[in-house]
Structure 1
Amino acid sequence: MIATRDRRDQLLRTLPRHDAPTIVVDNASQDGTAATVEAAFPHVRVVRADTNLGAAARNLGAQLADTPFVAFADDDSYWVPGALDRAAQLLSDHPRAGLLVAQVLVGEDGRPDPMTAELDGSPLGWADDLPGPTVLGFLSCAAVVRRDAFLSVGGFDPRLGIYGEEALLAMDLATAGWGLSYVPSLRVAHLPSPAGRDPRARERRQARNHLLTTWLRRPLPTVMATSARAMTSTAGRAGLRDALAELPWVLRDRRVVPDWLGADLRRLEHASAR
């Protein structure tokens, strides 16, 4: 399924490349996305959201799906032929796997996304009952989920919007006992627009969501250290101001991850720092 907002041209570029039943959730676009897709691709199910749901539009798409597995794509990405059949087989063969992460190939030349190196070098090992190395991070456009597992933990938190929304979902899936694995033989093509989006707004939003996720799930020493680091950059300070405005619901919904998961997160953070 694809969540989109005001990116009709990008979506029209990638939709013909999808070879599986597709649901498009239009996040209240103002550029005629929904009507254009309905006219050009009558086989695609289009859902019009009344408001911009952000990443939570994927929750709506998953709820409407009638398949046991759901693959996410952005309006500027698509799964390469054969990848989804392979992912479905792996999920069927590994019942503890709740989410599989694919390799992302960027641009027409298909260069690996920088995150690939971190996923390849995951220090968390490879469990016998999973189809690849254990990870706790992913890009949404490169994830296939077990629908029941995804919905059982609430999917993407609507209060985070977009940018960095994956970390909270990864923690909640792992806490619930589901495995997350990187499978590089699964591949996604990502064709980002040269214009892109406002980088400063994105950095501010990422800083906000990183803080909110930390405050929601990590122990107090990590909360304090992360909050202090946010003060060292312009985007971090802006994100901290935004996050503080959300503090009432954060305190209400705070649930610290179990110790074993906290240890895994620290191992990943130390590896990333190195």
Structure 2
Amino acid sequence: MTLPDAPPPPPSLTVGVATKDRPEALVRCLRSLRLLDGLLAEAIVVDDASDPPVEGAVTAALAADLPPEVRFIRNERSVNVAAGRNRIAREARTPWVLNLDDDAFVVTREAVEQAVRVLETDPEVAAIAFPQCDEAGVPYAPSAQPAPVDYPCYAPTFIGYAHLLRRDAFLSVGGFRERLGINGEEKDLCLRMLDEGWRVVYLPSAGVGHVAAAAGRDRRRYLHQTVRNSVVSAFCDEPMPLMPAGVAVRLWRYFPMRKGWGIDDPGGFGRIVRGLARDLPALMRERRPVRWETMRRWRSMTQSPPEPYRGPAVTAGPDA
């Protein structure tokens, strides 16, 4: 008697997309998820108060190309990307969550499968960093990647445009710091995960597409976010007596950054400082410094050649 084949395991992956006012980019992103048929349990799209709402236009544009399991959640009042991604993780019902920017897209199924295999086989890994690629899967320059190497390695952080998370590890450290919104929230999260013993792995052969959309990008706002968020992270995460120096250095960086980027920003530094001063009581309540050992490991990772990753799911390292 021939026994029937065992049923395939249920899909283990949720894809999350936080979006605002970029329906054309979102259409490309969601269409690319058809490559994940059978692996994808659900795609959750958080519409952060787009005007008009994106759901109608996107579903009409995709029609039969819309992946079968897409759920739209709309914020009537705009929050931010970090809050949207925390909502996605809370809503997800799978162990792995792949977050994509709305202007990112899957290029090959194999890239996502490789990343999932690492999480499945190595319980110390909490996040996978992907290389940025163009539409054809050609990687951008090493300087645009989470690590400037061509071998799998441990990385201090990932680039937020695309990253795969171990959901329980992410939620156990509190998720993204929502006060940061966007720009620097990845480093803040990864430092806190490292403090809890979790690691980030970069897979240079697992490319994900990213063609940055121009809508909503403001260079002056980006400068303010970069400086403010790096100060907030230093204040909340760094142990004493390192924290005051860390805050001062990050504030000072405003001036060379403004000059190097050629941004006219009269009064901008004062606005950043006044905003931080208003937030100081809340920041004092949020402060949870990591251990000194964590800071030493973090600095070693950012200042030394990346350590090859030799986990069971990959062949790694320049000497492998």
TM-score range, shorter chain: 0.7 to 0.9
Per-residue CA deviations over 1:64-114 (Å, capped at 9, x if unaligned) read: 111110001011101222222221111111011101111111466734155
2:317 aligned partner: none
Which amino acid letter does the alignment assign opposite residue 231 of structure 2? L
Q: CA deviation at 1:243?
A: 2.7
Pair 1:27-2:48 in alignment? yes
TM-score of the superposed pair, with normalisation by structure 1: 0.86
Secondary structure of the corresponding residue to residue 165 of structure 2: strand
Q: Deviations over 1:149-196 (max 9, x none)?
A: 111111111111112211111111111111111111221100112566
**What are the ranges of 5 or more consecutive residues in structure 1 without an aligned counterpart?**
127-131
Sort the Cα spacing of 1:257 and 1:116 in 2 relative to 1 into closer, same or farther, 3 A: same
Once residues 177 and 139 of structure 1 are traced to their aligned partners in structure 2, the CA distance between those partners, rounded to angstroms, is: 20
CA distance in structure 1 between the aligned counterparts of 2:146 and 2:100, rounded to whole angstroms: 21
2:27 to 5, 9, 12: 12
Q: Unaligned stretches of 5+ in structure 2?
A: 1-15, 259-264, 306-320
Sequence identity (%): 32
Tell me what 2:181 maps to: 161
**Counterpart residue number, 2:289:** 256
Q: Kindly state the Cα deviation for residue 116 of structure 1 after the two structures are TM-superposed.
A: 4.6
Native 8 Å contact 1:38 1:44 kept in 2: no
Contact 1:14 1:76 in 2 (8 A): yes
Which amino acid letter does the alignment assign opposite residue 77 of structure 2?
T
Q: What aligned pairs does 1:62-73 form with structure 2 within 5 A after superposition? A: 62-73=89-100
Matched, 1:50 2:83: no
Tell me how many residue pairs correspond in the alignment.
264
- SS of structure 1 residue aligned to 2:276: helix
Larger radius of gyration: 2
The answer on 1:98 being equivalent to 2:126 is: yes
Please show how residues 1-274 of structure 1 align to structure 2 within 5 Å: 1-18=16-33, 19=36, 20=40, 21-39=42-60, 40=63, 41=66, 43-54=69-80, 55-81=82-108, 82-106=110-134, 110-112=138-140, 114-116=142-144, 119-120=147-148, 132-194=152-214, 197-218=217-238, 219-220=242-243, 221-230=245-254, 232=256, 234=258, 237=269, 238-270=271-303
Paired AA for residue 237 in structure 2: R
AA partner of residue 28 (structure 1): A
Q: Which moved more, 1:220-229 or 1:161-170?
A: 220-229
- CA–CA distance in structure 2, aligned partners of residues 211 and 254 of structure 1: 12
CA distance in 2, matches of 1:233, 1:83: 35
The CA RMSD over aligned residues, in Å, is 2.6
